[in-house]
Amino acid sequence: MEGTEHAHDDHAHHHGSAGGWFRMRHRAAHLFRPHSHESAAKVDRALEASAQGLRALWISLAVLGATAAAQAVVVALSGSVALLGDTVHNAADALTAVPLGVAFVLGRRAATRRFTYGYGRAEDLAGIVIVLTIAASAAFAAWSSVDRLLHPREVSHLPAVAAAAVIGFAGNEWVARYRIRTGRRIGSAALVADGLHARTDGFTSLAVLLGAGGAALGWRLADPVVGLAITTGILLVLRDAAREVFHRVMDAVDPALMDVAEQSLKGVRGVRAVGELRLRWIGHRLRAEVAVVVDGRLTVLEAHRVAVDAEHALLHALPRLTAALVHADPAPLPGAADPHAPLTHHAA
């Protein structure tokens, strides 16, 4: 038998004879009138996670937008190609808030008969857009730096360039910490990737500071060389962000989550073994599908009770889990036919 997603906060945990009667009546009704097992509290937390993600995006958009605007003024005055690369990267990082914001808003929409799992996958699509944006900024920074190597030019207003570099580092590091912390708290791989993107921008800003120092000492190639170093840093972040987004698109999960889920299921009374277990992310929400082996002599009602208890255990063990589908598999009795064997029809 199968259990559907369970409204696990809706179950009253009563004690005594009245509580026992309530549980039996509820379980019997549940057999013939299936209802959503998705916990209202879990859904509320998922919606709150979306709100937290949106808040992180808009705040970081404002901070990075102001940082990029201040740096753009200095780029126009100084002609620093290293600072130009950093400014473009900051601007691109700020603009990635747009597809992520759209994804978070879409993810809050209810599932439909066409999109039966909802719109959480929009976050993964946004992650792909972010990776492409990082790649584009790396290409632009590389082109600008190579062009300046081939056509050297003096960099002016070096104190302003150094100040812009410090501002860029401070703004990006603050945004990176904020995005990564929020992304990990709500389970959004795209937001974590965006935070890593911002962190690299911070280090590239420090590289601009080194370039300004080299130019002040009379090394004309310091600025484009630092620009190429910035490009290398962007490519490293591109690799990490692409790996994280690829894993999410391919339904990869941390093996530690599987271990936690299996241990929680094995501790459920009535579960003899854990069969097939699958976890998948849909945006920043986690879903589970599992088959548990139960005593083949249990009644349908008793097997269902074990499935419900197993689902409760999963919901408590995995904080970001919003829904679980549990299938109760009867263990074969000695001498009995395999319950999973296909039915055959014999001619009279």
Q: Phi and psi of 121, rounded to 5°?
A: -65, -15
Q: Which of 76-80, 151-155, 232-236, 244-248 has the lowest mean pLDDT?
A: 151-155
> For residue 27, what pLDDT is reported?
39
> Could you give the number of structural domains in the chain?
2
Q: Are 2 and 294 in contact (CB under 8 A)?
A: no
The answer to the question of residue 340 being in a domain is no
Query: Are 95 and 223 in a shared domain?
Result: yes
User: Given 249, 280, 305, which residue is the final one in a domain?
Assistant: 249
The answer to the question of residue 70 being in a domain is yes
Q: How many CB atoms neighbour CB 128 within 10 A? A: 17
- pTM higher than 0.85 for the full model? no
> For residue 196, what pLDDT is reported?
78
Query: Are 287 and 222 in a shared domain?
Result: no
The answer to the question of residue 33 being in a domain is no
Q: Is the pLDDT of residue 247 over 70?
A: yes
Confidence tier at 235 by pLDDT (50, 70, 90): confident
Q: How many CB atoms neighbour CB 132 within 10 A? A: 14
Q: What is the mean pLDDT of residues 29-48?
A: 38
Cα 136 to Cα 141: distance, rounded to the nearest angstrom: 9
Q: Is the pLDDT of residue 56 over 70?
A: yes
Query: Are 137 and 239 in a shared domain?
Result: yes
Query: Are 205 and 57 in a shared domain?
Result: yes
Start-to-end C-alpha separation, the chain? 31
Query: Are 194 and 119 in a shared domain?
Result: yes
Q: What is the CATH number of the domain that holds 313?
A: 3.30.70.1350
The answer to the question of residue 14 being in a domain is no
> For residue 334, what pLDDT is reported?
73
Q: Is the pLDDT of residue 258 over 60?
A: yes
> For residue 265, what pLDDT is reported?
96
**Alpha-carbon distance values, 57 to 27, 38, 176, 274, 281 (Å):** 44, 28, 11, 40, 21
CB-count burial class (<10 Å; 0-12, 13-18, 19+) for 205: buried
Q: What is the mean pLDDT of residues 46-61?
A: 73
Q: How many CB atoms neighbour CB 173 within 10 A? A: 17
The answer to the question of residue 341 being in a domain is no
> For residue 25, what pLDDT is reported?
37
Q: Is the pLDDT of residue 226 over 90?
A: no
Domain carrying residue 202: 40-249
Instruction: Give per-residue pLDDT as tens, 145-203.
Output: 787 778 777 777 778 888 888 888 888 889 888 888 888 887 777 678 778 767 777 77
Which sign, positive or negative, has the C-alpha torsion 77, 82, 88, 90? negative
Instruction: Give per-residue pLDDT as tens, 302-324.
Output: 999 999 999 999 999 998 898 89
> For residue 49, what pLDDT is reported?
65
Query: Are 207 and 324 in a shared domain?
Result: no
Query: Are 239 and 258 in a shared domain?
Result: no
The answer to the question of residue 297 being in a domain is yes
Instruction: Give per-residue pLDDT as tens, 82-100.
Output: 788 778 777 877 777 788 7
> For residue 48, what pLDDT is reported?
55
Could you tell me whether strands 321-330 and 285-294 are parallel, antiparallel, or unpaired per DSSP bridges?
parallel
> For residue 45, what pLDDT is reported?
47
**Across the chain, what does the average pLDDT equal?**
77
Cα 280 to Cα 286: distance, rounded to the nearest angstrom: 6
The answer to the question of residue 276 being in a domain is yes
Q: Is the pLDDT of residue 39 over 70?
A: no
Query: Are 213 and 322 in a shared domain?
Result: no
**Alpha-carbon distance values, 38 to 5, 52, 64, 231, 265 (Å):** 5, 21, 38, 46, 18
Query: Are 241 and 286 in a shared domain?
Result: no
- Residue 142 in tokens: 């590389």
Displacement of CA 167 from its chain's centroid (Å): 29
User: Given 249, 267, 282, which residue is the final one in a domain?
Assistant: 249
Query: Are 172 and 137 in a shared domain?
Result: yes
The answer to the question of residue 26 being in a domain is no
Q: What is the CATH number of the domain that holds 190?
A: 1.20.1510.10
Query: Are 129 and 245 in a shared domain?
Result: yes
Query: Are 192 and 297 in a shared domain?
Result: no
> For residue 144, what pLDDT is reported?
77
